[in-house]
Amino acid sequence: MSDKINKLHRYMRIGINRTGSFPSQPELMKKLGINPEEFNELINEAKESGRDIRPEYFEINQYSKISDSEIKYGTEEKEPFGHKDFINFHKNLSEKILDLNFGDDDLTEDILELAGTLVKYLEIQLSKIDQNEDSGKLKSYDSYSEVMSVYGIEKKIPTNNQIQLSVDNFLSPFKEIFNKIGIIYESYDTHINEPYNEDDIINNYETLNFNEIISLLKLYEDGQLS
């Protein structure tokens, strides 16, 4: 239900930002794919949640293809979200962002949900690493060297803090890129200091270094962080 509330608030927010009024109930039900009974239940759940329909700033964390619980713990059918899933989402995102078009709401929302899933996953990993920050270094020097040497990175065993720094350094520009897309999509016009160009955003995305992050995620998932 939490994800449905996010989407409900999203479409209400977009409606009022773009037109000055909230979408009608039929419009919202169509967007959410629910019937009147489910809509009434969702409205009550949303009221009880106490969430802000119109936060001051765009929040990429409100976008995801997968629930927080599924990312962390998986389901009866699926394992928790892992580095292989990260690779697949990255591939999908990299293909779709090449067609970024602010006039295509469905594509833009799809791109934001893919990006938001990656952000949530990385932040969950940061939290896990932070809990073990005193445990030191990777167990296997040779494995780290083997994985990272192909990228021309000096063969040093990273500490937890160094890994955290790498993820933080990746997340900062990553979020900046998708915050720009989200500001346009949700029509937060007052937050736009200069026109955003799709080609510029795509070019900025292509400068991101996914290789190091993917390698570090594999090492962490393989249990090579003490």
pLDDT averaged over 10-residue windows placed end to end, the chain, 226 residues: 86 93 96 96 92 87 93 93 95 98 96 98 87 52 58 58 85 96 86 78 96 87 68
Q: How many domains does the chain have?
A: 2
The three state secondary structure string of 82-127 is CHHHHHHHHHHHHHHHCCCCCCCHHHHHHHHHHHHHHHHHHHHHHH
Same domain? 101 vs 195: yes
Three-state secondary-structure class, residue 117? helix
Same domain? 41 vs 91: no
Same domain? 98 vs 206: yes
pLDDT digit string (tens) for 61-98?
A: 999 999 999 999 999 999 999 999 999 999 999 999 99
Average pLDDT over the chain, rounded to whole?
Answer: 86
Three-state secondary-structure class, residue 137? strand
Three-state secondary-structure class, residue 154? coil
Counted residue by residue, the chain has a size of: 226
What pLDDT is attached to residue 127?
87
Cα-based distances in Å from 189 to 56, 180, 183: 12, 11, 7
Same domain? 189 vs 90: yes
124, part of any domain:
yes
65, part of any domain:
no
Same domain? 47 vs 123: no
Same domain? 50 vs 82: no
Same domain? 43 vs 90: no
The whole domain housing 48 covers 1-55
With b for 16 or more beta-carbon neighbours within 10 A and e for fewer, the 182-215 pattern comes to bbbbbbbeeeeeeeeebeebeeebeeeebebbbb
**What pTM does this model have?**
0.84
What pLDDT is attached to residue 41?
96
Radius of gyration of the chain (CA): 20
